[in-house]
Structure 1
């Protein structure tokens, strides 16, 4: 489908990767920049906590559905073309969202934005796999880390800017990124050539079933604040089972469930990553609102406090990589998991009288934990998969992140249904303690084996 590979590093390759990296960060940035803007949006449109939860979770629901779908479309119609179309959709939605007269219009624009940003990751990864020959898996892993860690900068960016232009400014931030990525993409991503031997097969039923099960699970989780709608739970379980059986028989399924069946260790990594994302995004979602509404901080000061997560996550990542290269995965992952557990336990000590340095310290510990666990799970994933499986593995890895984000949004909606206060913040912290405790045995189990170093990173054969 594509003409040639770039085998040696050079200016063209770096600019191509820059175009992709800028496109890739649009999804995580736009999922977290809105967190600091929530009090203003809530006030302007008179929203409840459940409304806010749906506003945020719908972005992840759309992303989870369209990420694998657009990945297949980009293989058929051309990755560069899909990448540019994705940037265009983000530009259109970023221009119109600030003009929203009501919640429904804003939700629609966020949906378009989610579709656009969902196109950028799979198309970008496809371009890397087609053109970058040297250290391909390392590049893919770096882009994955870049996409995840950049999410932590969203609250800081929006917090520093909202005071200047209100909540609409979080959409205008996208334009310099879009413009730079589009210009570099046009110039340095080679043109697509159609492969006449490849045919695209729509798995329409699979898409509908997958979208339905995500909506039904979200609906059930949101109903827990009123005691739970167990009819929706039963329907969600039934639809999930039907989806699994249907996709299991498809030769070209929407979601390759056989990949999960054949790779139990990889499936566990996805589960651990979803759990880690629940903790990480719960902090990015709840803390900005808590700091503004309970501690009465400005959006600017809130953004500075939230910077603790991103700075320490970025700081620890290269250190964690070197640690894993020397000693394997077990001790770094366990250290990250234990640090996260201590961090969420310390969240219980935070209240409306807490000094800012203490809040900053607790969030910094959670940032360190996320940085270690994030890079550890991603590197461990690629040590279990072959080069030919890297595409599907990375795509499903991102899907597992969206599932974690959806669950975090649901926890937020349920825990803060009666308001943003100390008691509800503590209730959410208790849930996160339970999630953190569940991650430790999984980390012990997944690092018991000796994955083959097939990822080209030179990581040790012994995962311990």
Structure 2
């Protein structure tokens, strides 16, 4: 009976895992397709960056929102709804005749994939009874590291059907997840009517905050827009003050006030994501546009990043179980800095093996830092707060992705070339340097060594 229950739980985990990877995969599969989409729709780098940024903005808004909806209407129902939206978008997106329609279908896809993580975590909490915290942590890491495989998958497939084919990749994944969900995930238990008060003003202010900051960052190409900066700062302050006073806020800003370490860890996670995704976003386009590689060769080269990130994660987990967080995380920051310094050496004469080495260094650094920061975060919070902590961690990842896409849009606004790649690398070096003192601070005291 115990073996049967464990087997059943494994099938539930597979169903959730397949849904969870759809968001990170769809954020990165499109990176190899950007040159073709840009050419087909006659876009500049700033315009094409909105195809990336809008996905993250929608994800950042809807992930916590749908998390609350799943508590009200059932995790399984919301999970199935999310899969349905991704199916619709994956069929319609390849048929888009212009950029506005492609943005709309990508927006539908972002809403659908945003439903899958919070609903999936809720399903795990309700139905998985063996090593639940480890399963949730693994899914969170899986959701992040799987993003690194996006460029490889799309690079290998685009040669057969152009950029539209990347959307069809979702269909078999959704099919398997849907079948497992229907047959193995129990129905949601009926609960008493909830008294949750929807924070409409908070949702609106949060949406305006990240959107206006995005507009400001992308407008830097044309000069420093003081008016836009002022509006962004005012709305940010309004959002914070309003949410601080709410009993049931959309984003629990008071959670950050409990412990400075928690706030700094989220900040570290944002900056770490900025570096990782900026590399993930820019190099596929650089390889095709400057080194003139095919989509297939680009995908194979990018595999260096994903393989090393994935392989390093379990090794880093065992390392931290034995040595604690401080040495592994400080080592990862050193690797991050080395990686972005090496990134600045890449130019139009660089051999592909050198690009692969640079990607490998970045992959190793991300593998250690990703799992390390997540487990360090959970070491500072009570188990009762793991839900809000994981939700805010995902929001932090989206904010990091938004910043990275902004850097990409500004850095390459005048075209993809060696000079602009170096400019982006110098920005990332600055970000990597910031990571050092903060990591020294948050790892100075460890509440517990165990990563269970």
- Give TM-score scaled by structure 2 length: 0.98
Contact 1:79 1:123 in 2 (8 A): yes
Aligned residue runs from structure 1 range 243-258, under 5 A: 243-258=239-254
The one of 150, 153, 172 aligned to 1:154: 150
Aligned residue runs from structure 1 range 49-448, under 5 A: 49-448=45-444
Q: 1: CA distance between counterparts of 2:447 and 2:167? A: 43
Q: 2: CA distance between counterparts of 1:213 and 1:59? A: 16
Contact 1:137 1:382 in 2 (8 A): no
RMSD: 1.2
Aligned length: 451
Q: 1: CA distance between counterparts of 2:60 and 2:268? A: 17
Deviation, 1:319, is: 1.1
Contact 1:83 1:124 in 2 (8 A): yes
Deviation, 1:199, is: 2.3
Contact 1:221 1:228 in 2 (8 A): no
Q: 1: CA distance between counterparts of 2:311 and 2:357? A: 15
CA deviation vs aligned residue, 1:233-274 (integer Å, no higher than 9, x gap): 111110010101110111110000010111321111111011
Q: 2: CA distance between counterparts of 1:8 and 1:274? A: 41
Q: Secondary structure at the match of 2:149?
A: helix
Deviation, 1:314, is: 1.1
Deviates more, 1:86-95 or 1:379-388: 379-388
Q: 1:403 to 1:292 in 2, by over 3 A?
A: same
CA deviation vs aligned residue, 1:257-304 (integer Å, no higher than 9, x gap): 010111321111111011010011001100000000000000000000
Deviation, 1:316, is: 1.1
Aligned twin of 1:462: none
Contact 1:86 1:118 in 2 (8 A): yes
Q: Secondary structure at the match of 1:349?
A: coil
Q: 1:302 to 1:48 in 2, by over 3 A?
A: same
Aligned twin of 1:15: 11
Q: 2: CA distance between counterparts of 1:223 and 1:34? A: 23
Deviation, 1:424, is: 0.2
Deviation, 1:9, is: 5.6
CA deviation vs aligned residue, 1:13-54 (integer Å, no higher than 9, x gap): 000000000000000000000000001100110011011111
Q: 1: CA distance between counterparts of 2:260 and 2:3? A: 33
Structure 1: unaligned runs, 5 residues or longer:
1-5, 459-464
Deviation, 1:452, is: 3.6
Contact 1:7 1:133 in 2 (8 A): no
Deviation, 1:153, is: 0.1
Q: 1: CA distance between counterparts of 2:92 and 2:197? A: 33
Matching of residue 34 in structure 1 with residue 36 in structure 2: no
Deviates more, 1:196-205 or 1:357-366: 196-205
Deviation, 1:197, is: 4.4
Deviation, 1:347, is: 1.0
CA deviation vs aligned residue, 1:325-358 (integer Å, no higher than 9, x gap): 1110011001111011011001111100011111
- Give TM-score scaled by structure 1 length: 0.96
Contact 1:223 1:229 in 2 (8 A): yes
Q: 2: CA distance between counterparts of 1:249 and 1:328? A: 37
Structure 2: unaligned runs, 5 residues or longer:
none
Contact 2:412 2:420 in 1 (8 A): yes
